Amino acid sequence: MPKVTFDEDLCKGCGLCVNACPKQIIEIKKDIINKKGHSPAGITDQSKCIACAFCATMCPDCVITVEK
């Protein structure tokens, strides 16, 4: 099963992963503030993930680990 995990404390909330996701299942979690003071990105529907790793490819901070 494809699985995406976000190391939320590393995330700066830049949103590049949001735009990169072909399934549009990543969003910025506006209700959360991480250690750095950013609202981190997270996945909304794990079941739709195809493990393409586009999100991780565009992430400047190695926040995302993708498994299949």
Residues that bind other proteins (CB under 8 A): 10, 12-16, 19-20, 36, 38, 51, 53-54, 56-62, 64-68
DSSP letter assigned to residue 8: G
Tokens of 53: 């790793």
Q: How far apart are CA 37 and CA 42, in angstroms?
A: 15
Q: How far apart are CA 57 and CA 31, in angstroms?
A: 25
CB of 61 to other proteins, least distance (A): 5
